[in-house]
Amino acid sequence: MRMASLRIDLTEFAPTLIDPALLSRPLGEWLWREYDQTRGWLRVEFPDPRTAYQWRVTSLGWVGVVPLQADVQLAIAPKVPLHNLFQMWLYAYDLHSFHWLAGVTQVDSLPAFYQELARLLAQWVQRRLSRGIYRDYVTQERPLPFMRGQWLWRRSLAPGVPAMHCRYDEFTADTLDNQLLAYTLRHILRGGWCAADVQTAVARAYHHLQSVTTPVAFQPADCVNRVYTR
């Protein structure tokens, strides 16, 4: 697993003082600009007499790992114990049927938490693939050697290679939900934060999923209120 040589630990909603020797001025300004001013996830206060000439950083309800440099990261833990989060999710999303989650609730660090989420995602994707993944009708527009659906005759008369430009509905697994899953698995693989066995499980799930869908980049907000159904 790839690990940063320096990890600065914070807790959600708890102001943390950071020595300028650990967080340089350019790095602190970048953190303030990207995560305070732009995203609003952190409150970043510059060194001055009020902070004893140290950086004061507060997470405003966000947890996770912020990579500052190749060898420096900011690790923000939730104010509740990590092992309680799984129980909270079980209750919030009515996932009590997944009894095999019990062993996962023993994690007590953010890297372990991230790794177990990756493992669960890979297992869920493999289970869904074995049972049949979600498919839906998706509207396509492309040139074809034959007539299918609606003929877009104006585009067909344009100069170039002769073709029948058609608009049609195709029943496919290449849907937004499946694209999001494929993109997430690919992102985990490229991050390299997981142990070898988890990386292998994620790679296997990604390999099987990308045979039926295309990974497309998403923003975190795109995942809000999405429920995978089949």
Between CA 28 and CA 18 the distance in angstroms is: 10
What contacts 79, CB < 8 A, 6 or more positions away? Answer: 11, 12, 13, 14
Span 129-148, average pLDDT: 87
Other Cβ atoms closer than 10 A to 209: 25
pLDDT computed for residue 148 by the predictor: 85
Largest CA distance in the chain: 75
pLDDT computed for residue 96 by the predictor: 53
Closest CA to 69 of 30, 32, 37, 17: 30
Beta strand pairing call for 136-144 and 164-172: antiparallel
Report the interhelical angle of 110-131 vs 196-209 (nearest 10°).
30
Could you say which DSSP state residue 63 is in? Answer: -
Closest CA to 6 of 97, 71, 88, 89: 71
User: What confidence tens digit (pLDDT) does each residue in 46-95 have?
Assistant: 999 999 999 999 999 888 888 888 778 888 888 877 666 666 766 666 65
pLDDT computed for residue 86 by the predictor: 64
Per the listing, tokens 């959600």 go with 12
Between CA 93 and CA 199 the distance in angstroms is: 27
Other Cβ atoms closer than 10 A to 73: 19
* Residue of 22 and 84 predicted with greater confidence: 22
Q: Which two tokens stand for residue 49?
A: 């007499």
Averaged pLDDT score across all residues of the chain = 84
pLDDT computed for residue 91 by the predictor: 65
Domain range annotation of the chain: 6-77, 82-133+175-223, 141-171
Residue 177 has pLDDT above 50, yes or no: yes
Confidence band (pLDDT; 50, 70, 90) for 40?
Answer: very high
* Residue of 103 and 186 predicted with greater confidence: 186
pLDDT computed for residue 223 by the predictor: 84
pLDDT computed for residue 151 by the predictor: 83
Residue 102 has pLDDT above 50, yes or no: no
Q: Which amino acid is at 53?
A: Y
In sequence order, which ranges of the chain are alpha helices (DSSP H)? Answer: 25-31, 82-92, 110-131, 153-156, 176-191, 196-209
Confidence band (pLDDT; 50, 70, 90) for 230?
Answer: low
